[in-house]
Amino acid sequence: MKKIAVVGSPNVGKSLLFNRLTGAYANVSNYPGTTVEVTRGRAKIGENEFEVIDTPGMYSLLPISEEERVARSILLSERPEVVLYIVDAKNLERMLPLGLQLIEAKLPVILVLNIIDEAENIGMSFNLGHLEKELRVPVAATASTTGRGIDVLKGKIEDFTRSNRQKSG
């Protein structure tokens, strides 16, 4: 089954977004050999069924904590078809370094500016097309608490997996 890894720093809404993608079905277990919990669920996006993995919070691909080691291991050993890099839109600049590490590692990244509603409420705005052009990855804006942007994100996942299949096949 194709995999989607949900990654990002703690407190950016990864688990809420995971729940929006998977609905009620989730399986929480400890990652083998650790006490770190990893949540897995299933999502149907377009015609494809995905295993969605909610990884522990991380700040860097160069792990310091056990949680970061587990998240990195999932990214490198399970080779997900899509890596949703979730950031708090209010703190995009501070969170971009990990995004750049993921992109430089040639992982299949979609950048998700989450908590977009709060960012807009304090006067922030984003040119998603410009971000896509500069980073060379798809970008979506979501508010996982309300579900805003989830359908657009699903469309981006569908388009991304289709174009990656065409490149490799």
Tens of each residue's pLDDT in the chain, 169 residues: 899 999 999 999 998 999 999 986 667 677 777 778 889 999 999 999 999 999 999 999 999 999 999 999 999 999 999 999 999 999 999 999 999 999 999 999 999 999 999 999 999 999 999 999 999 999 999 999 999 999 999 999 999 998 876 676 5
- What is the three-class DSSP state of 135? helix
Separation CA 160–CA 49 (nearest Å) = 14
- pLDDT of amino acid 27: 72
Are 91 and 118 a contacting pair, CB within 8 Å?
Answer: no
Split into its structural domains, the chain has a count of 1
CATH number at residue 46: 3.40.50.300
* pLDDT of amino acid 24: 63
Cα torsion 48, 165, 31, 139: sign: negative
Q: What pLDDT score was predicted for residue 164?
A: 76
Measured between alpha carbons, how far is 54 from 62 in angstroms, rounded to an integer? 19
Query: What local confidence, expressed as pLDDT, does residue 30 receive?
Result: 75
> What is the predicted pLDDT for the residue at 142?
98
Query: Who contacts 169 (Cβ-Cβ below 8 Å, separation ≥6)?
Result: none
pLDDT (0 to 100) of residue 55: 94
Nearest CA to 40 among 18, 61, 58?
18
Q: Global pTM?
A: 0.94
**Per-residue confidence (pLDDT) for residue 32, from 0 to 100:** 76
The answer to whether 88 touches 12, Cβ cutoff 8 Å, is yes
- For 76, the enclosing helix (H) or strand (E) is helix 66-77
Domain hosting residue 140, numbered range: 2-168
